Amino acid sequence: MTNLEPPVPQPGHHRPGITDSESSIELKDIAGLSQGQIVRKRFFRHRGALVAMVMLVFIVVLAFTSVGPQFGGFKPGGWWRYTWNIAVEIENAGRPTISFFPFTLGNHPFGQDEVGRDIFAVVMRGTQQSLMIMVIVGSIATLIGTVVGAISGFYRGITDAVLMRFTDIIITIPVIVIGAVLGRRFGIAGAPVLALILGLVLWTGLARLVRGEFLSLREREFVDAARVAGARDRRIIFRHILPNAIGVIIVNSTLLMAAAILIETGLSFLGYGVQAPDTSLGKIISENQGAFSTRPWLFWWPGLFIIAIALCINFIGDGLRDAFDPRQRRMPNDKALAKARRVGPGGGRPDAVPAPGGDLDRAATVVSSRGAGMQGNGGMGGIRGYNADKPDIDDRPKLGDN
């Protein structure tokens, strides 16, 4: 019979493979921080999300300052010498004039189309429209999905049944069909109308996720404490439950934005999205699909910006997911473990036992709490925490309230 060594006791948590030292270091790292500070600190540790955020800000600034935005008759100019809807004399046979060795932009760094329009100006205008659609769709779909999911999950019963059956009806209708039919009719009104149409049909997935979160959170102890204190339903929803579901809402909002820009690109490519005389990144590709073999640069630049925007949004959403999920743990390296360990008589050996009363022991006792629920953090051995609003005078029923 093989003799097996007894497992190393790991008090204070239930996840295998995590030592007391690792758990204590993370507890010490977030001790005294609020929920927002913890989320911000975790987000800024995500290098991919930071790089994506910087890149997205650069794209937004470049698109709106180069050729200037256009809102109806308001057309402030930008710093670029050409505009997206005016043709000029063709130079260099329409090929891009940008050079990297040595680095020079030239007059038309992205080239020109067959009529002489500057492709850089056209791509910047298309990026403006695609970004506008992304933001509007994300905002509308997030608002509708959150409201429907919150009401359905909190009240349950007949309210839940009616709202979820309505959601099922919207889900059964293909988004691309709705966008094609309505986009063809209203696309000439511009990107905002197309974004409104898409936002009214892309909220269903978020509504189901929010409903699931509310069904779980409404049974927690801090919600029961708020009810006992006399808080009304509106206050329980907005001050107690919704802050604990904000992570799911924000993360899925970023996914909705990334999906919206791809759907708009597909619709515009098929001719059902943004209509002339305006343009978008998908419409630029659609207009120049016949020149793929002769002038491929007409596809490179709009395609590059579509991919860059979608990837940036997805990376930011990935960083927000890790930041808001209290079950995500940042494992300390050997150097951090050695620094936190108080060496006993072992003289710095790896198996040295921490001295009583050391930093690890003090850090292990730090458990932040807010009101009736634990503050969400990843240092409690994978146990999910919750942020409860502190009871105050507003939790008491007012005279005349039901």
| Peptide linkage before 277 cis (omega within 30 of 0) | yes
Cβ contact 312:59 at 8 Å: yes
Q: pLDDT band at residue 189, thresholds of 50, 70 and 90?
A: low
Query: Residue 1: pLDDT above 80?
Result: no
Q: Which two tokens stand for residue 30?
A: 């977030």
Distance CA 112, CA 96 (A): 7
Question: CA torsion, points 176, 179, 184, 186, in degrees to nearest 10?
Answer: 180
Query: Residue 358: pLDDT above 50?
Result: no
pLDDT of residue 51: 95
Higher pLDDT, 137 or 100: 137
pLDDT of residue 101: 81
Q: pLDDT band at residue 74, thresholds of 50, 70 and 90?
A: low
Cβ contact 153:211 at 8 Å: yes
Q: pLDDT band at residue 363, thresholds of 50, 70 and 90?
A: very low
Query: Residue 290: pLDDT above 90?
Result: no
pLDDT of residue 305: 93
- Computed over every residue of the chain, the mean pLDDT equals 77
Compute the average pLDDT of residues 112-127: 90
The identity of residue 205, as a single letter, is G
In 47-120 the beta strands, taken as DSSP E runs, fall at: 99-100, 103-104
Query: Residue 138: pLDDT above 50?
Result: yes
pLDDT of residue 337: 58
Of 285, 260, 290, nearest in space to 183 by CA: 260
Compute the average pLDDT of residues 377-399: 51
| Peptide linkage before 76 cis (omega within 30 of 0) | no
Cβ contact 393:399 at 8 Å: no
* pTM: predicted TM-score of the whole model, two decimal places: 0.73
Lowest average pLDDT, out of 81-95, 110-124, 375-389, goes to: 375-389
Lowest average pLDDT, out of 125-129, 146-150, 228-232, 359-363, goes to: 359-363
Q: Which two tokens stand for residue 96?
A: 């891009």
206-237 pLDDT, tens digit per residue, is: 999 999 999 999 889 989 898 898 889 889 99
Q: What letter would DSSP give residue 236?
A: I
23-48 pLDDT, tens digit per residue, is: 555 556 666 677 778 888 888 888 99
Most confident of 73-82, 107-116, 177-186: 107-116
pLDDT of residue 377: 40
Lowest average pLDDT, out of 34-38, 206-210, 312-316, 375-379, goes to: 375-379
* Residues counted in the chain: 402
Higher pLDDT, 175 or 399: 175
pLDDT of residue 380: 39
Question: CA torsion, points 28, 34, 35, 40, in degrees to nearest 10?
Answer: -80
Query: Residue 281: pLDDT above 80?
Result: yes
Higher pLDDT, 213 or 381: 213
Compute the average pLDDT of residues 126-141: 92
Query: Residue 382: pLDDT above 70?
Result: no
Cβ contact 144:199 at 8 Å: yes
Q: What is residue 369's three-state secondary structure?
A: strand
